[in-house]
Amino acid sequence: MIYPNIIYHPDSQTTVFIDTLQQIGNSASAEVVTYQSSLDGSLKAFNRGLGARELPLRGKISSDNVDTLRRQLQYLRGKQIYLMLGAQNTATVARIRDFDLPVAVGTHSPLTLDVVAESETEGQFYEAEDCTHTGTESTQSFASGGTGVLLNTGGEDVRIELYQSDIVLPPGNYTMFARAYDMNNVVNDFGLNVYNYNDSTTIDSTTVTLASPYGTYAIVTADFTISSSDAGDLIYIYVKKATGTSNNIYVDFIGFVRTD
């Protein structure tokens, strides 16, 4: 399966799909200061701060799309984006520092992106069909991986299941997102939810109306907070068909990013 790599700008709803990434860099640093103790002369160290995570990306895009992509990247430089890397199941809030998109002869053009993450913690991102779900997998030419999950009965869902830890889902503020469309634009029929399974408590519950034209996916979001009361617990981050009204909802992917 070819996993999608996506840049999404929520303010303008600009969505950029990158055909193939051949190299994904992951660079992170901490400012560690060493000193000699005046008491016993031993060497000691402390962490003064953390540097930004950097994600240099090298890939290629179809030459048929090069002019559109160049204009989109010029617009997105310096703006806050969501970067989703399908093969790594990673999503993060970031900014594009610079890019290089030379004109190439052939069917594909090389692309280099220099991306700087804004949060210390990675989020996650999954194709809907790779998640736990109670819907039906459905071939969808409009979906990023060619397949989505159909939700057509009230309560059917697509979910990410995670145990909270300081490495995965540490306390802080997050935004969950999903790419979906529906057939009938039923009011408040698409739910975005975060649930603590151990405590049987709802961390966040939001419903939206998917009002895009038929076949046109939209990315929708909802904010949530993980607190110390969620420590070590099993957390569901999920979307669902929220009403019993007749409707077909197709989910392409879901994920979340850390926003602080």
* Token duo for residue 15: 């969505």
Q: Where in the chain is the domain with CATH 2.40.10?
A: 5-27+52-117
The pTM assigned to this predicted structure is: 0.91
Q: What is the rounded CA–CA span in Å between residue 111 and residue 92?
A: 20
CB count within 10 Å of CB 90 equals: 20
| pLDDT at res. 192 | 98
Q: Where in the chain is the domain with CATH 2.60.120.260?
A: 126-258
Q: What is the rounded CA–CA span in Å between residue 178 and residue 206?
A: 12
CA distances from 195 to 121, 162, 182, 238, 246 (A): 20, 11, 24, 8, 25
Asked if 99 and 71 touch (Cβ cutoff 8 Å), the reply is no
Mean pLDDT by 10 residues, the chain (260 residues): 87 90 90 91 91 91 87 96 94 97 84 94 96 96 90 98 97 98 95 98 97 85 98 98 97 97
Q: What is the rounded CA–CA span in Å between residue 103 and residue 109?
A: 6
Q: What is the rounded CA–CA span in Å between residue 174 and residue 233?
A: 17
Chain position carrying tokens 């059917």:
156
CATH of domain 5-27+52-117: 2.40.10
| pLDDT at res. 1 | 60
Domain at 126-258, CATH homologous superfamily: Galactose-binding domain-like (2.60.120.260)
